[in-house]
Amino acid sequence: MNRIHLHLLSDSTGETLEMIAKAALAQFENADVVRHFWPMVRSQQHLERIVPELANNPGLVLYTLVNVSTREALEDHCRKLSLPAVDALDEVTHALERQLGEEAHGRPGRQHRMDDAYFQRVEAIQYTIAQDDGVGAEHWEEADIILAGVSRSSKTPTSIYLANRGYKVANIPLVVESPPPAILFELKKPMVVGLTTAPERLVQIRRNRLLTLNEQSETSYVEKDRVTEEVKFARRMFADNNWPVIDVTRRSIEETAAAIIRLHNERHARIKPGEKPI
């Protein structure tokens, strides 16, 4: 197995850098990567404290540093240590400068500034947490997206991920013995999406959940025939209401969220100005 040290240096929270690294590393199944995360590097004094760690754990240095002097100092240290250093946003920024005909602002953390989009994300997160697991049906019409599915079909983590992208999301568990509130079938603004998964995989997830909680592992909750009926019940509801369905069996939360966002964007693209979603 190939093992490398990956140093991530950012003058902000490092969230963007981590996402870039994660996306790139997903292409290498056999790599053993030791990550060293260095956020909020905004001075050469801070950088000097990191350099010994670079020397003790040589590897690839990936960075997003907009301050010219700090960036040049890092690049100089990397040359002296014979370490490869890559500016994660450099090529994209230069391309945008050429297309837009203006110079980029060298402001650390600019993507995280407290603008309207920031407050929209905060509001979306607060809404989503308040409407988790079928709670707050009277507020569902305010949602952008409603996720429906049987227990342990990744509704809550997917909802939180989408909320961090600025979408107000409510989610509701589908239980055979307890039909969802009638309002679910009367919503106009939100897009309702059904999440489903293979019964075998669902049984495995539920068993692990029970073990984590130190609860009895042999109940109807994990009985295969029962779980299969639950999944069929949910699928019939999705089909009867013409809701889009996403099978999360082999999808990560990020992949599921990306598919939902695509559906949401396509839905709104079909709506003419002044019309309401249907």
Helices vs strands, H then E, count in the chain: 9, 8
3-state DSSP assignment of residue 145: strand
Q: Using alpha carbons only, how large is the chain's radius of gyration in Å?
A: 23
Residue 82 is labelled as binding a ligand: no
Q: How far does Cα 146 stand from its chain's mean position?
A: 17
Residue 70 is labelled as binding a ligand: no
Task: Name beta bridge partners: 245.
Answer: 194
Residue 13 is labelled as binding a ligand: no
3-state DSSP assignment of residue 247: strand
Residue 178, token pair as written in the block: 């307890």
Spatial CA neighbour of 200 closest among 227, 221, 174: 227
Residue 151 is labelled as binding a ligand: yes
Residue 154 is labelled as binding a ligand: yes
DSSP assignments along 181-232, one per residue: PGGGGT-SSSEEEEEE--HHHHHHHHHHHHHHTT--S-SGGG-HHHHHHHHH
Residue 153 is labelled as binding a ligand: yes
Residues whose CB is less than 8 angstroms from the CB of residue 222 and which lie 6 or more positions away in sequence, other chains included = 203, 206, 207, 210
Beta strands in the chain (DSSP E): 2-10, 31-38, 60-64, 85-87, 145-149, 169-173, 191-196, 245-247
Q: Which residue ranges are tagged as binding site for ADP?
A: 149-156
